[in-house]
Structure 1
């Protein structure tokens, strides 16, 4: 079973070092046990929906918008260096994976190498926890 992964990026090369929902774009990958392939790049259209001065931290509307945007693309896994408080909302619909690798391709490769763990969390549905991959070990929260 392959998984569809959305990677939070601003430049297409690196994962952002901010909350997942603050990315300018998401690179969408299909990942299976043998390979990973970038299939699409989508702009984060939710980012401009709110005025930064009035946006509340952990805005449920922002979480809903991101969920709708990525579900439309068939995404199952979210990959970033950081997630904000909305992680509690999005993990009902996705497996959030925190990668301690900055280069996007290295983080996707690390996710591929731990695909069984990610699949296991995906199967838990609304009981999902996020995963932290640091290159040596994994940690479930």
Structure 2
């Protein structure tokens, strides 16, 4: 891949993944793949964590706002413990990855071992990306619309 592959990790203020939807994270930590290493690039507060549109999860305006925020950062992959209904919109723009770990360093190690799966998805598709589930290994699955 010629362009830099960037990831947005949805974490809390303690820099840990929580069991909450991507869009409800306190902040996003941006990482980039440099050769075989994944390194820290930036940290972006989530200004849409508390969104006024409506009280229900899966707010489309909130989802679109987060998409624009992270597209501007050059992100291609969203990493979280959970995604809500907006995953159906997210996967048109980003590869969604669900992790079972709390520490970003653990997610980085698993991503590095399976980065070829992510790169293959980006090379062979331009939207409607598959969902990746990561534990110790990785599973690629279809998102039902």
Superposition misfits of 4+ residues, deviation over 6 angstroms: none
3-state DSSP of counterpart to 1:125: coil
TM-score of the two chains, using structure 2 as the length reference: 0.87
CA deviation map 1:70-129 (0-9, x unaligned): 001000000011111110100100000011222111112211211111112223122311
CA distance in 2: counterparts of 1:133 and 1:25, whole angstroms? 21
CA 113–32 in structure 1, closer or farther in 2 if over 3 Å, else same: farther
Any unmatched runs of 5+ in structure 2?
A: none
3-state DSSP of counterpart to 2:79: strand
CA distance in 2: counterparts of 1:25 and 1:9, whole angstroms? 6
Backbone CA RMSD of aligned residues: 1.6
- Aligned partner of 2:135 in structure 1 is 134
CA distance in 2: counterparts of 1:35 and 1:135, whole angstroms? 18
Any unmatched runs of 5+ in structure 1?
A: none
Does the aligned pair in 1 maintain the 2:24–2:50 contact within 8 Å? no
Matched, 1:100 2:100: yes
- Aligned partner of 1:117 in structure 2 is 117
Report how far residue 32 of structure 1 moved.
Answer: 4.2
Number of equivalent positions: 139
Does the aligned pair in 1 maintain the 2:63–2:90 contact within 8 Å? yes
TM-score of the two chains, using structure 1 as the length reference: 0.90
